[in-house]
Structure 1
Amino acid sequence: MKNLMFLLGLVNALVFSVFSTKCFSCSAKNSTKCQKEMEIDCLGDACLIASQYFHNGDNSFQSILKGCGDDNVCGAEGSATGKFSKYRFFASCCTGNLCNTGGYTLPVEDLTPNGKVCPSCYVKGSTDECESNETIKCTGTEIRCFNYRASVRNPDNSVVDYSVKGCSNSFGCKINFDHKIGIEELYREKLNC
């Protein structure tokens, strides 16, 4: 029995060492540069750098996250645009030990109109549904309309209740706006795409 346990432990250690990668890990919730990076062990061979831009009313924040790569997120490019609001997210992955040495990167935004038109409104200070007769012409890959109402804690620790409608791309809707760096959703009233 002892030999079997030893053998299983040895196999586990070998599997982990063969299928693990070292990646840099850090998070900067209101900066494009991490102050302290640690080395962590990740299963698989991918490391991640995720960059985010978030504009809500009067405030704009850029944030970065480094860590283990995940097939569900690698290559993801999320975006949503509404009146007085903008959310952009990009996750790039690389293969090999400590390969995620790069910095904050967001692809160039495609501002080419795509023919989709969505309702557009923004209210700060309330999670009640905003109402407006205004519309927004969607651009690039933002081919879906969204309606989002929530209370969030921004990277500067300010708490904002707001309601916004606008355009989103498919990935922005798929992740339900849950891939946020340094933005804490305190309460979600509604999200429809």
Structure 2
Amino acid sequence: MKNLVVFLYVIFALVVSVLSYECYYVFSPNSTTSKESKIDCIGARCMTASQYAYNHGDNFRSLFKNCANESLCGSKGSLAVENLMFRFFVRCCNGSLCNTGKYELPEEDPTPNGVKCPSAYCMGNLEECKTEKEINCTGSMDRCFDFRTEGKYPGEPTKNYSVKGCVNSDACRYNFNSALGVAENIKFLRC
């Protein structure tokens, strides 16, 4: 009987160790480095998300590490408006504490792809931003978007934004509430 109890304890410990994973956790708006902590995860995958935002001359690079969001694994999103760009890349890995990667953002192809979209950037309201301007879409950005949110960039107060421009399919399915230091309360997104 004693051997059976020891055997069951060993099996239980093995099962718990297999089902319990840790990932590194970093939430670093406008920084590509930060002190890592550890977080318990249910799944066996971790992720590292690199984000880049360009807004009228200001560059913001951000890093996020956490348990994997399977719907985003491998995503390379891009959107562009006249003086605004947002890009992200999500790398997922298998195993406990595997998300040791650094900031990584593959280049976007700058070649025009023939798609043209309305290009508008309005700050201060959540109404549709009207425009006569167009932008030539490039690389993987093969569709148009209309986006309205309450958001903020690091170091700035919350503002209302209404934006139109080019986007790729990965960015269309991205939850912009996850965008570090950008969107806080999405009101409307159409691709």
- Shorter-chain TM-score bucket reads 0.7 to 0.9
- Secondary structure (helix, strand or coil) at the match of 1:73 reads coil
* Match of residue 53 from structure 1: 52
CA-to-aligned-CA distance 1:49-69 (integer Å, 9 cap, x gap):
111112234543211111112
Instruction: Tell me how far 1:82 sits from its aligned partner.
Output: 0.9
* Match of residue 4 from structure 1: none
In the alignment, is the contact (CA less than 8 A) between 1:16 and 1:43 conserved in 2? Answer: no
For 1:1-193, what aligned pairs fall within 5 Å after superposition? 14-34=14-34, 36-186=35-185, 188-193=186-191
Identity %: 45
In the alignment, is the contact (CA less than 8 A) between 2:26 and 2:36 conserved in 1? Answer: yes
Deviating above 4 A after TM superposition, structure 1's stretches of 4 or more consecutive aligned residues are: 8-14
* Match of residue 5 from structure 2: none
Counterpart Cα distance in 1 of 2:148 and 2:9: 50
In the alignment, is the contact (CA less than 8 A) between 1:23 and 1:40 conserved in 2? Answer: yes
* Match of residue 3 from structure 1: none
Taking a change above 3 Å as real, the CA distance of residues 147 and 184 of structure 1, as seen in their structure-2 partners, is closer
Mean Cα deviation higher: 166-175 or 50-59: 50-59
Normalised by the length of structure 1, the TM-score is: 0.84
Mean Cα deviation higher: 117-126 or 51-60: 51-60
Taking a change above 3 Å as real, the CA distance of residues 137 and 96 of structure 1, as seen in their structure-2 partners, is same
- Secondary structure (helix, strand or coil) at the match of 2:90 reads strand
Counterpart Cα distance in 1 of 2:187 and 2:66: 30
In the alignment, is the contact (CA less than 8 A) between 1:51 and 1:105 conserved in 2? Answer: yes
In the alignment, is the contact (CA less than 8 A) between 1:27 and 1:65 conserved in 2? Answer: yes
Normalised by the length of structure 2, the TM-score is: 0.84
- Secondary structure (helix, strand or coil) at the match of 1:116 reads strand
In the alignment, is the contact (CA less than 8 A) between 2:149 and 2:183 conserved in 1? Answer: no
* Match of residue 4 from structure 2: none
Counterpart Cα distance in 2 of 1:148 and 1:63: 21
- Secondary structure (helix, strand or coil) at the match of 1:122 reads strand
- Secondary structure (helix, strand or coil) at the match of 2:170 reads helix
Number of residue pairs aligned between Structure 1 and Structure 2? 185
In the alignment, is the contact (CA less than 8 A) between 1:23 and 1:42 conserved in 2? Answer: yes
